[in-house]
Amino acid sequence: MSDKTYQIVVAGELVDGTNLPEVKAKLAALFKTPAERLDPLFSGKRVVIKKGLAADIAGKYVAAVRSAGLQCRAEEIVAEGEAQQPSPGPTAAAPGISLAPVGVTIIEPPAVTVPKFDVSAYSMAPAGETLIEPPAIPALDIDISALNMDPVGDGTQLVEAERVAPAVIDTANLNLAPAGSDVGEMKREEGPPPPDTSHLNLD
């Protein structure tokens, strides 16, 4: 069993898609401590939150803190005067090559300072308050003194319809057949005569 120990380090970096109040609340529940006592973890400076952990326990700490929304890493604790060596993994990929335990930082990322903005000079208007007054639009002044309106149902025609002359059709050459006349009935064609069956008898 390896006797190497690790420490858990944070630098105030949030996991993408999270927000500070939510992360603070989750970490407060995780560490069972008031949320206001966790402010130093979000200062942007490197902070060690746990030391002397075995590799498997360090990996669990890293997973738990990251699931709460705070970026976290495990660093091997190197005794004074010793050079830090890669920690052996559970299996060797090839002679001379080993895997670091889960959560161990191989390359130290640069510390990123969380920017702070002074918003004390700003305030927020109450919900529903008009921030910019829209310009007043004057009503149109239209002179309608020359117009009038007929009483309802007076029947005055506003637009004269165009007169259409009736069509002239010459019916002098047309007449009507008497009632009951066969006007368009088709004549039936006579079929062949029935065959002669006089020479046939039934026994």
Q: Are 15 and 66 in contact (CB under 8 A)?
A: yes
Residue in 104, 110, 107 with CA at minimum distance from that of residue 8: 104
What are the tens digits of pLDDT across the range 41-85? 888 888 998 888 999 999 998 999 999 999 999 999 887 655 544
- Please report the pLDDT score of residue 96 as a whole number: 46
Can you tell me the mean pLDDT for 142-163? 75
Torsion angle of alpha carbons 81, 86, 87, 92, nearest 10°?
-140
- The pTM of the whole model exceeds 0.85: no
d(CA 30, CA 23): 10
Q: Which strands sit side by side in the sheet containing 47-53, from one edge to the other?
A: 47-53, 6-10, 73-76
